[in-house]
Structure 1
């Protein structure tokens, strides 16, 4: 006896399962007014996220409250316009920042870099929470975190130069990701063993989509801590290190 066929899901059910814009309907040859206004609003939020100000001083104060010493550095991008037009400048430290790092003590295992990236609002919303959940996991594994560098005008690769200057075995970069139409405030974490200028994305591991409707700060901290532990043990990151952290997170006391 054949079992009854599963009834197809409606388009309304599909829309509840994804933030993607599907089955929006139409009005003549165009979108319905509501869908068009929703798209326009999402586009405006994404643009605002890219051009938002970055309060490096406030972020440094939040990190210091978690027990981290902080360093303030900048890339060679002179301003936001320069940063967006010249990605290469966001990957290089300015001379004053090099002097700051040259006077800092070596950090040992981990250099933590938090940069504005393409969504400063994501950093303001998510970065401190990720660090708060990450620190006890690293402490439990006896992995030391040196000074945290708060970087303005930062691209991911700026962490390579910072990590090398601080003598870190690994650099962890928390940075605002390129805003999307459904996630204008998404944070990414990039981990690189043996940081030095000239590395590529193939040398990094990434934990992305850290935001209110994506990966939570706690889940992200679990994945990042696993990658740090395994990366230090195996002395690799990137394509040579597969994320096998799994979905179960160990119980930890509240941070």
Structure 2
């Protein structure tokens, strides 16, 4: 007969883990288990790896020239590269105010275009490298030639509000800022889109609309995010404003389109 001292210790294997099916449905850390008074070694290592990935995503700078080269086949004019007043990644993280103010916008061309697109490194340059090219292509497809688009601007050491200065310099009436979002312990490469109608310095978050969590395959897909952005642009230009007064109606429009489609009776 096996005594308690001889009983094999329980392992943290997926086979014996009743939380495993639930864990596959969420990126949250649930049912981590215990090893004495602490977590199992595997869970500790997973946490440390996620934390390291988040730190790397924040601190690794964007190679703007190399990234600009990847946009050659975007169908848009050659991108322009600008930077904020933050002189380094370290200063950018310590001084958010500097990331909202441009160092020099003399290279930004004045444009008669309707839409401006800024691709900003934000708090996750890795997200820009991984996803911005695909998202930009999806946006161009979603606009489907309805609007003229200014040459894209790549902004480094950038916060969202830097786009207000760039949009004013471009002379566009509607601006989209594609930016790397703050990394978390579950996602380190997520993009966001911030829409501002009639951009100019002094705009606040209440004047913007945000689409976040863009990082397929686990997050929002490029085509879905682009469809929402295009719907918001359409609404902003009809309403004459963006932000709290503007609501996303893309899902309802899709449902209405499905309802109006002819049905085929068998």
Using the size of structure 1 for normalisation, the TM-score is: 0.88
Higher helix share: 1
Contact 1:138 1:144 in 2 (8 A): no
Counterpart of 2:55 in structure 1 is 47
Counterpart of 1:122 in structure 2 is 127
What secondary structure is seen at the aligned counterpart in 2 of 1:189? strand
Rounded Cα–Cα distance in structure 2 between residues aligned with 1:65 and 1:55: 18
Please list the CA deviations of residues 2-60 of structure 1 after superposition, one character each: whole Å capped at 9, or x if unmatched. Answer: xxxxxxxx533321211100110111221111111000000000001111121211222
What secondary structure is seen at the aligned counterpart in 1 of 2:188? coil
Which runs of no fewer than 5 residues in structure 1 stay unpaired?
Answer: 1-9, 251-255
Structure with the greater relative contact order (CA < 8 A, sep ≥ 6): 1 or 2?
A: 1
Counterpart pick for 2:156 among 152, 158, 162: 152
Tell which structure's C-alpha radius of gyration is larger.
2
Counterpart of 1:76 in structure 2 is 85
Asked if residue 33 in structure 1 is aligned to residue 54 in structure 2, the reply is no
* Residue 81 of structure 1: how far off its partner (Å): 0.6
* Residue 245 of structure 1: how far off its partner (Å): 1.0
> Aligned residue pairs: how many?
236
Asked if residue 105 in structure 1 is aligned to residue 105 in structure 2, the reply is no
* Residue 108 of structure 1: how far off its partner (Å): 2.4
* Residue 112 of structure 1: how far off its partner (Å): 0.5
* Residue 156 of structure 1: how far off its partner (Å): 0.5
RMSD across aligned positions (CA):
1.6
Rounded Cα–Cα distance in structure 2 between residues aligned with 1:216 and 1:98: 32
Counterpart of 1:230 in structure 2 is 235
Rounded Cα–Cα distance in structure 1 between residues aligned with 2:180 and 2:112: 24
What secondary structure is seen at the aligned counterpart in 2 of 1:112? strand
Counterpart of 1:167 in structure 2 is 171
Contact 1:116 1:152 in 2 (8 A): yes
Rounded Cα–Cα distance in structure 2 between residues aligned with 1:200 and 1:30: 45
Contact 1:188 1:209 in 2 (8 A): yes
Please list the CA deviations of residues 80-126 of structure 1 after superposition, one character each: whole Å capped at 9, or x if unmatched. Answer: 011000000000000xx22222xx13242111100111000100111
Contact 1:107 1:147 in 2 (8 A): no
Contact 1:109 1:170 in 2 (8 A): yes
Counterpart of 1:204 in structure 2 is 208
Rounded Cα–Cα distance in structure 2 between residues aligned with 1:42 and 1:204: 31
Using the size of structure 2 for normalisation, the TM-score is: 0.85
Asked if residue 93 in structure 1 is aligned to residue 99 in structure 2, the reply is no
Contact 1:53 1:120 in 2 (8 A): yes
